[in-house]
Structure 1
Amino acid sequence: MKRVTNIEERIPALKKRRKRRINRRFYVLLALLLSIALICIYYASDWSSIKQIKWSETDLKSNDYYLEQSALPSYDRIIAVNIKEVERRLLELPTVKEVDVQKHIFKRTVTVDLVEYEPVAYIDSNGLYSLLLENGVELEGSSTEVLRKLPILSNFETEGERKKIAHSLSEVERPIYELISEIIAQEDDPYGRVTFYMDDGNEVRGLLMDFPKKLKHYPNIVAQLSPEQKGVLDIEVGVYFTPYDVKYQQEPIELVSPLEEENGDGTSVLEEPLPPVEEGDATQPASEEEEMFQQEQLEEAPLPTEERPIILDE
């Protein structure tokens, strides 16, 4: 049997339920209006403005330069700062390698952690020096002074050559890299031959394409030489060392002229009397012009070189 409920008994309960529903909607609407009001007050007050921008330490460019390029001054309120846009604009700069931008709303602070490309060398342009970065970009601005301990590049005329040498130098081990004082490219050379002048007094000659791989053996090679012996190290094909006094003939080797060789009895060939010349005999003493010509030939004869192969300790 179904129970019959009087409608008059349910009316108070229905009224209470309806009242609770109306109150809930009212509080939700009130909270929404208050939130909008607080946001408007926040935007209108100084609490929404950027109080401080913190930069990591930079070397190539000033913080003011990066601030201008980042477009951060165009943002009036910290909540409106577009982090991705700021990072994109900074990464487009040739000096910026990495960047990380964070905004702290309650502290009203923007932090920019920026990493620059390392300079690897100076480019010498008729006595004016400009920095070459590890990404192969030549930094704008030249100086007549060298303010950093970096190798000086000469005869690297094209952008491709500079990118290659920059990339290669970034691969050289730091202790060896710090020994390089100057690098000169051979002009109009299709093989890319380069000469390294080292701080320890040696020269190293090799190819641009593979010198980082071969130059890593430099400490082992130098260890096989006496400290007083300086010279030219050729790592283009194999490894050969030639002392300076032989390579540049600073101390010419004394040669014995064939005309001054001694006979078995200790007398010089020139000391022997010339055979008598009879009339009509084809054997005649050399004229003064012929003797001068022979002497010039001896003086112009190349001196012997002493190249020693170097054994690398793998």
Structure 2
Amino acid sequence: MSKNKFFKKKKTELTPWEALQGKKEKKSKRFDFFGNPKMISDRLPKLKKYQHHVLRQKLIIIVGSFLVIGLVALYFVSPLSKVQTINVSGEKTVSKQQVENASNLHTNDPLSSALFNKKKTLREIKKELPQVKSLTISHDKWNDVKLSIVEYDLAGYVYKNKAYYQLFLNGAVGASTFKQPVGNYPTYSKFDQPTILQSMVAQYRKIPLKIRNGISEIDYQPSKVNNQRIYIYMNDRNKVIANIDDFADKMAFYPSISSKMKEKGVVDLEVGAYSYPYNKKS
């Protein structure tokens, strides 16, 4: 035997364990788990069944997608996708029609646009009605839109141009005019500068409600040395002299001071905190 034949034979020889594993592998390819011979024809029905299952799934997905697209398209061209009516609730100082007009929403507008553009609608309303604090847009039934507003509370009435205008706690002045104030609210006179009026309202809303209810009128009375001075006329017939910038802090002392007054007079909070009768100045 030549040297080359020896090495070739040596190289192809397997160990008994390797030979056994090779036989098992060949057998597994030809027989199933139970030892029965595997036939190609046995695997074809399963393969066809799997292919049909995959095709059905794809067909369902395609048909379902077209059906959904068709329904969505049908909805958007139908009357159900348009605003039918606009209802308003929560109004106090404005009318339902004013809110609807200011919202810039109309019947037959797309319902989706009305429901998902809340911020834009609120901006439109506040341009015309600054007393509106917040807005909720919802829909009733299928396509009825509901505008629910919340208004700022009244701070009183501003007197100018021989008419009264509503003043709100956010400092906004309403557009509607009144011949007389309505309700137990103070009137603001001589506040010609909007910034001064807003500063006054900012102080007014800080004082307790009990003291607010006791105020009848607030007049802006600046002097040469003090452009913050105001006169406050109370429902109990006392007069208060104060400054706008510390009005809320100083008015906290009013109930205590007025309770000690023997007769009606002036409560001076401009510099200190003291009182004197109308017929006597100290």
What TM-score bracket applies, with the shorter chain setting the length?
0.7 to 0.9
Question: What is the rounded CA distance, in whole Å, between the counterparts of 1:210 and 1:35 in structure 2?
Answer: 65
Find the counterpart in structure 1 of residue 153 from structure 2. 118
* 1:48–1:79 Cα contact (<8 Å) kept: yes
Paired residues, what number? 245
Q: Which residue of 1 aligns with 2:57?
A: 24
Structure 1 residue 230, shift from structure 2 partner: 0.6
Match of 1:99 in 2: 135
Map 1:227-306 → 2, pairs under 5 A? 229-247=263-281
Which of 151, 157, 171 is 1:136 aligned to?
171
Counterpart pick for 1:199 among 212, 235, 243 = 235
Distance 1:8 1:170 in 2: 90
Asked whether the 8 Å contact 2:240–2:269 carries over to 1, the reply is: yes
Aligned to 2:71: 38
Letter in 2 for 1:108: N
User: Is contact 2:85-2:107 (8 Å) kept?
Assistant: no
Aligned equivalent of 2:247, options 205, 211, 226: 211
1:92-140 deviation line (CA, Å, top 9, x unaligned): 5522222232346x64343333111222122222532222222222222
Whose helix fraction is larger, Structure 1's or Structure 2's? 2
Q: Does 1:67 align with 2:100?
A: yes
> Which sits farther off after the overlay, 128-137 or 172-181?
128-137
TM-score by length of 2: 0.77
CA contact (8 A) 2:88 2:99 kept: no
Distance 1:221 1:188, change over 3 A: closer
User: Conserved in 1, the CA contact under 8 Å of 2:83 and 2:107?
Assistant: no
Q: Given residue 41 of structure 1, which amino acid in structure 2 is its aligned partner?
A: L
Letter paired with 1:233: V
Give the distance between the partners of 1:185 and 1:135, measured in 2 at CA.
19
- Quote the Cα distance in structure 2 between the aligned partners of 1:52 and 1:95: 24
In 2, Cα distance between equivalents of 1:141 and 1:131: 7
Secondary structure of the 1:139 match is: strand
Shift of 1:7: 2.7
In the alignment, is residue 157 of structure 1 matched against residue 192 of structure 2?
yes
Q: For residue 149 of structure 2, give the secondary structure of its aligned residue in structure 1.
A: strand
Structure 1 or 2: larger strand share?
A: 2
5+ residue gaps, structure 2, are 1-23, 31-37
Q: Distance in 2 between the 1:17 and 1:178 partners?
A: 82
- The AA in structure 1 aligned to 2:94 is K
> Does the aligned pair in 2 maintain the 1:91–1:99 contact within 8 Å?
no
Tell me the alpha carbon deviations over residues 253-309 of structure 1, each in whole angstroms, 9 at most, x when there is no partner: xxxxxxxxxxxxxxxxxxxxxxxxxxxxxxxxxxxxxxxxxxxxxxxxxxxxxx4xx
Letter in 2 for 1:197: Y
Shift of 1:51: 4.5
Equivalents in 2 of 1:153, 1:88: separation in Å?
A: 28
Q: What is the identity, as a one-letter code, of the residue corresponding to 1:213?
A: D
- Equivalent AA in structure 2 for residue 28 of structure 1: I
In the TM superposition, what is the alpha-carbon distance from 1:211 to its structure 2 partner?
A: 1.3
Of 27, 36, 39, the residue aligned with 1:6 is 39
Report the aligned-residue RMSD: 2.4
Task: State the match for 1:186 in structure 2.
Answer: 221
Q: Provide TM-score, normalisation by structure 1.
A: 0.70
Paired AA for residue 244 in structure 2: L
1:39 shift after superposition: 2.3
The 3-state SS of whatever aligns with 1:13 is helix
Q: 1:128, 1:208 → 2: CA distance? A: 24
The answer as to whether partners of 1:86 and 1:101 remain within 8 angstroms in 2 is no
Deviations 1:160-217 (A, max 9, x none): 1111111111112111111111112214545211111111111111111111111122
